[in-house]
Chain A
Amino acid sequence: DSGVTQTPKHLITATGQRVTLRCSPRSGDLSVYWYQQSLDQGLQFLIQYYNGEERAKGNILERFSAQQFPDLHSELNLSSLELGDSALYFCASSAGPSRPLHFGNGTRLTVT
């Protein structure tokens, strides 16, 4: 058990809808990372937060947004969903720079 909790485990929704994925980092970890894993693109870095502030941005679409709250949990919001957004979304946390990432078990999103 990595200590990182992601909910829900599975999500099925229709095109055009909006969903929110939730992540609780390991106790004491200040950094949260979001990744998208799809078969053809591998593991794509989306965004990183550190202690509530956005720290780095990757290949995140404008339809996607995220935030980290004062209690350090994070939410990833995906809107105007398209079929191509179907993927596994992972959250990871770390204690800080140069410290390893600890991954949650992911949320599998299926857009129909």
Chain B
Amino acid sequence: GNSVTQMEGPVTLSEEAFLTINCTYTATGYPSLFWYVQYPGEGLQLLLKATKADDKGSNKGFEATYRKETTSFHLEKGSVQVSDSAVYFCALRGRDDKIIFGKGTRLHILP
């Protein structure tokens, strides 16, 4: 079946550092890919998405590119802020419309 694997956290960075959170997937066909963010005490919020190969999703300075050849959708940000501290989830939506999430990566940004 479909699955998502993302790097385990926690990831701790200093403010203004470069961020990469790795995500790879296994799926039949051509899934849609997503990054969601969860702030403390809240539900998940859609951060960005890509629906086909080579698409780049971007939002709030975050970017991720749908790489079919490497089955990856890594999340990047050039300069992180303390307010980016949260848990980040990579997810895919398959042909069956089921959305599968990775286990989440906790990000701590130090001032």
What is the minimal beta-carbon distance from A6 to any residue of chain B, in angstroms?
A: 8
Interface size class, chain A:
20 to 34
Please, how many angstroms separate the alpha-carbon atoms of A101 and B32 in the complex? 12
Chain B's nearest CB lies how many Å from the CB of A43? 4
What is the CA–CA distance of A33 and B102 in the complex, to the nearest angstrom? 16
Q: How far is the CA of A100 from the CA of B101 in the complex (A)?
A: 13
Majority SS at the chain B contact face: strand
Among A97, A103, A106, contact of B45 (Cβ-Cβ < 8 Å): A103
Residues of A within 8 A of B60 (CB): none
Given A43-B89, A98-B93, check contact A48 B101 (CB 8 Å). Answer: no
- Identify which of residues 4-51 in chain A touch chain B, using a CB-to-CB cut-off of 8 Å: 4, 33, 35, 41-43, 45, 48
A97 to B96, CA, bound (A): 9
17 CB < 8 A contacts A-B: A2-B43, A2-B45, A4-B43, A41-B103, A42-B102, A43-B101, A45-B98, A45-B101, A55-B97, A56-B96, A56-B97, A56-B98, A58-B98, A97-B97, A98-B51, A104-B43, A105-B41
